[in-house]
Structure 1
């Protein structure tokens, strides 16, 4: 069960990183109409992308320890 929870958190974190990076990139490129979150705040996008990346790292390290 702990391995499944690590994989679920890994997938969720990757989705968060992709979502916020896509929103930041589209916002900076001027495509705010099709951005996932309409590029509300670039600082928020960058912060959540970095924190999602930290979660990806932590989930991966925890998964590797349980082998």
Structure 2
């Protein structure tokens, strides 16, 4: 889930980057706010899963490589 904190802003930048150049700032602002809100909600959800009493590694992702 932590990798989503890396990829969500990249995805959001890609969405905003591929929008037409002539789009008005008033139409672009709600899109950017929606993307930032999603990132904030994911961050808060991940933060709520963190256990302060556990000194070990937490919220780690394991993906076998090759």
CA gap of 1:63–1:49, structure 2 versus 1, over 3 A, is same
Q: Which has the higher helix share?
A: 1
Cα deviation code 1:17-61 (max 9, x no counterpart): x342xx4xxxxxxxxxxxx32224223321110111111111111
Larger radius of gyration: 2
The 4+ residue runs of structure 1 with deviation greater than 4 A are none
Give the unaligned 5+ runs of structure 1. 24-35
Q: Is the contact between residue 7 and residue 63 of structure 1 (CA under 8 Å) also seen in structure 2?
A: no
Q: TM-score, normalised by structure 2?
A: 0.51
Q: TM-score, normalised by structure 1?
A: 0.50
Give the unaligned 5+ runs of structure 2. 51-66
Indicate the RMSD between aligned Cα atoms, in angstroms. Answer: 2.3
Q: Alignment length, in residue pairs?
A: 47
